[in-house]
Structure 1
Amino acid sequence: MKKALKILLGVIVAILVVFGGYLIYLFASYDRLPDNMTLKPDNQHTQALETNKTYRAMSHNVGYGAYPPSYSFFMDGGKYSRAYDKETVKENMQGIVTTTKELEPTLAFYQEVDQDGDRSQHVDEVAWLQKHLPAYNSLYGQNYDSSYLFYPFTNPIGQAKSGLVTLSQAEITSSKRYSLPIETNFNKFFDLDRAFTVSRIPVKGDHELIAINTHLSAFTKDRSIQAAQLKKIFDVMESEYKKGNYVMVAGDYNHDVLGNSPEVFDTSKKRETWTHPFPKEELPAGFHLPTGKLAIEKIPSARALNEPYKKGKTYTTLIDGFLISDNITVKDVHVKDMQFKYSDHNPVYLDFSLK
């Protein structure tokens, strides 16, 4: 009996030592990139944009190439933590490239692009986009380089280095990465770091198009964090607009862009933490969130990952889009209905001109 108790006590001590050591590793290895960080664009072309000419912008959260329609994610109540295999990631990334070529955007904004990660089977998706879309100038801004997350225990999501990619047919003369406020408690290891990139694109004349790419927090239950993130972006938007620049923000806001998506997409499910209405009333003067006929067309931009995608059953919403200054004329805005073939998001695209 005493021997059994000693063995049990030894096992418990060993578990506590391993767990304690892992916690020390998590906190010791955690690090955030500095705020207001200069980035280096990769320019292949030097042309400028022009006023009174129609252009197209596209925003697409690519879900690090891991989410075909059959996929469900453990943090959303689903099954998996990593992409099925490397071939699936490559197939999804090629599908995203093909979709981009079909839409032919002047500007393309991508979120959740892994440079390296266990969850994405170590496919360099930043290099993939640059290689397969060579007609574009490119910019990469890192969101996070996470510690190894040993969860779920049977198949850990592992480590990931991931961020934002902006592509432009016009020159990106300079760019910066700004850190966003995040939770400082243990949740920071699960919602990970957040940022936005600001790229300057010349417009013939004296001004610039300020192209902002972002992906706001999803799994935080502290709404003050999301509000603080938006405020920081709003402050940059307002500052650039007052300089006379054109300002476009594209991304995954993890907010309901329509404000009434549950009614539009005919679902009886309650709102998720990432689908609170976007606070349009808090936008700086001179800005709006164009929705056009999105509520009539009823094509969602994102789906829940608690189960494989089933049209008409799976929770869907519209959380991706653009924030536009009023010196930009919006002609159309649409969601391309991909039936979530290559990602848990469908791309949103917008036709516009500069006044």
Structure 2
Amino acid sequence: MKKILKIIGILIGLFVIVIAGYLIYLFASYDRIADNQALKPQNISQQELTTNTEYRAMTYNIGYGSYPPSYSFFMDGGDKSIADSSQSVKANLAGVINTTKSLDPTLAFYQEVDQKGTRSRQVNEVQMLKDQLPSYNNLYGENYHSAYLFYPFTQPIGQAKSGLVTLSHGEITAARRYSLPIETNFNKFFDLDRAFTAAYIPTENDKQLVAINIHFSAYTSDKKIQTAQFNKLFEFISEEYQKGNYVVVAGDYNHDLLGNSPEIFNKTKERRTWTHPFPKEKLPAGFSLPNKDLAKDAVPSARDLNEPYQKGKTYTTLIDGFIVSDNIEVKNLQVEDTEFEYSDHNPVYLDFQLNE
């Protein structure tokens, strides 16, 4: 009996040592990417944008190519943590790329694009977008990189290096990455780093279009963090607008852009942590959140990943879209209904023109 107890004690001791060692590794390897960091765009053309010309912008959270309609994600109450296969990731990216070609945007903003990652089967999605959409100038800004997360234990989500990709037919002459406030407790290992990128595109009237790509936190329930993230963005866009620039913000806000999306899409008032109403009342002067006919069209931009997608049953909402300065005229705004074929998000596109 003593021998059995001794063996059990040794095993428990080894388990404690392994867990302690892993936690030390997790905290020691954690570092935030520097704020206000210059980025290097890759330009293949020097096109200048003009006033009174209609352009199109598209925003698309591609879910690191890992979320076909059959997929459910463990952090939302589903079953899986990594993509089904590298072939599945590549097929989803091909769908994203074909959708982009079909919509033919002047500006394309992508979120959750993995440069490498266990969860996306080590497929370099940044390179795929560059290679298969070669007519665009491109910009990549790293959103976060994570240590190896050994969770869930049956299929660890592992390491990831992921970011924001902006494509533009107009020349990107300068760009920067700005860190957003995040939680500093243990939740930082799951909601990870957050940032937005700003690409500066010259216009014919000696101004600039400041094209911002953003992805707000999804899993934080700390309202102070949510408010701080919005405050940083709003302060930045206000400063750019006051310089006389055009400003468009595209991305995944993880906030309900309609205000009553649960009722529109799900006939309920129930909300997820990532579907709180967008604080439209706090937008700086000179900015708006265009909605056009989105409520009437009733096409969602994101689905819950608690289960495989079932149209009419799965919880859906509208959290992707645009903020624009009032020197930009909005002509049209629509969600492209892909029925979540390639991601847990649908792309949203905006037709606009720059006023003189």
Give yes or no for TM over 0.5: yes
For residues 52 and 269 of structure 2, what CA distance do their matches in structure 1 show? 44
Q: Are the aligned partners of 1:269 and 1:315 in contact in 2 as well (CA < 8 Å)?
A: no
User: Which residue type is aligned with residue 122 of structure 1?
Assistant: Q
Mapping 1:85-100, distance limit 5 Å: 85-100=85-100
Name 1:273's counterpart in structure 2. Answer: 273
For residues 141 and 82 of structure 1, what CA distance do their matches in structure 2 show? 23
Deviation for aligned residue 1:270: 1.7
Name 1:219's counterpart in structure 2. Answer: 219
Name 1:63's counterpart in structure 2. Answer: 63
Name 2:315's counterpart in structure 1. Answer: 315
User: Which residue type is aligned with residue 170 of structure 1?
Assistant: G
Deviations 1:203-234 (A, max 9, x none): 00120000000000000111211111111011
What stretches of structure 1 move > 6 A for 4+ residues in a row?
Answer: none
User: May I ask how many residue pairs the two structures share in their alignment?
Assistant: 355
RMSD (Å), alpha carbons: 0.6
Mapping 1:1-355, distance limit 5 Å: 1-268=1-268, 270-355=270-355
For residues 69 and 232 of structure 1, what CA distance do their matches in structure 2 show? 34
For residues 282 and 268 of structure 2, what CA distance do their matches in structure 1 show? 28
Q: Are the aligned partners of 2:263 and 2:269 in contact in 1 as well (CA < 8 Å)?
A: no
Deviations 1:279-315 (A, max 9, x none): 0000000000000000000000000000000000000
* 3-state SS of 1:159 partner: strand
* 3-state SS of 2:239 partner: helix
Q: Are the aligned partners of 1:172 and 1:201 in contact in 2 as well (CA < 8 Å)?
A: yes
User: Which residue type is aligned with residue 116 of structure 1?
Assistant: K
Q: Are the aligned partners of 2:77 and 2:305 in contact in 1 as well (CA < 8 Å)?
A: yes
For residues 296 and 11 of structure 1, what CA distance do their matches in structure 2 show? 61
Structure 1 residues not aligned, in runs of 5+: none
Provide the TM-score with structure 1 as the length reference. 0.99
For residues 318 and 246 of structure 1, what CA distance do their matches in structure 2 show? 25
* 3-state SS of 2:140 partner: strand
User: Which residue type is aligned with residue 103 of structure 1?
Assistant: L
User: Which residue type is aligned with residue 80 of structure 1?
Assistant: K
User: Which residue type is aligned with residue 292 of structure 2?
Assistant: G
For residues 141 and 46 of structure 1, what CA distance do their matches in structure 2 show? 21
* 3-state SS of 1:351 partner: strand
User: Which residue type is aligned with residue 347 of structure 1?
Assistant: P
User: Which residue type is aligned with residue 128 of structure 2?
Assistant: W
For residues 227 and 250 of structure 2, what CA distance do their matches in structure 1 show? 17
For residues 155 and 87 of structure 1, what CA distance do their matches in structure 2 show? 18
User: Which residue type is aligned with residue 166 of structure 1?
Assistant: T
Deviation for aligned residue 1:268: 3.0
User: Which residue type is aligned with residue 187 of structure 2?
Assistant: N
User: Which residue type is aligned with residue 164 of structure 1?
Assistant: L
For residues 12 and 302 of structure 1, what CA distance do their matches in structure 2 show? 44
Deviation for aligned residue 1:269: 6.5
Provide the TM-score with structure 2 as the length reference. 0.99
* 3-state SS of 2:322 partner: strand
Q: Are the aligned partners of 1:267 and 1:315 in contact in 2 as well (CA < 8 Å)?
A: no
Q: Are the aligned partners of 2:145 and 2:159 in contact in 1 as well (CA < 8 Å)?
A: yes
For residues 250 and 24 of structure 1, what CA distance do their matches in structure 2 show? 37
For residues 48 and 127 of structure 1, what CA distance do their matches in structure 2 show? 25
* 3-state SS of 1:87 partner: helix
User: Which residue type is aligned with residue 322 of structure 1?
Assistant: F
* 3-state SS of 1:176 partner: strand
Q: Which sits farther off after the overlay, 1-10 or 141-150?
A: 1-10
User: Which residue type is aligned with residue 97 of structure 2?
Assistant: V
User: Which residue type is aligned with residue 211 of structure 2?
Assistant: A
User: Which residue type is aligned with residue 297 of structure 1?
Assistant: D
* 3-state SS of 2:148 partner: coil
Deviations 1:104-134 (A, max 9, x none): 0000000000000000000000000000000
* 3-state SS of 2:258 partner: coil
The 1:3–1:267 alpha-carbon spacing in structure 2 relative to 1, beyond 3 Å, is: farther
| Seq. identity, % | 66
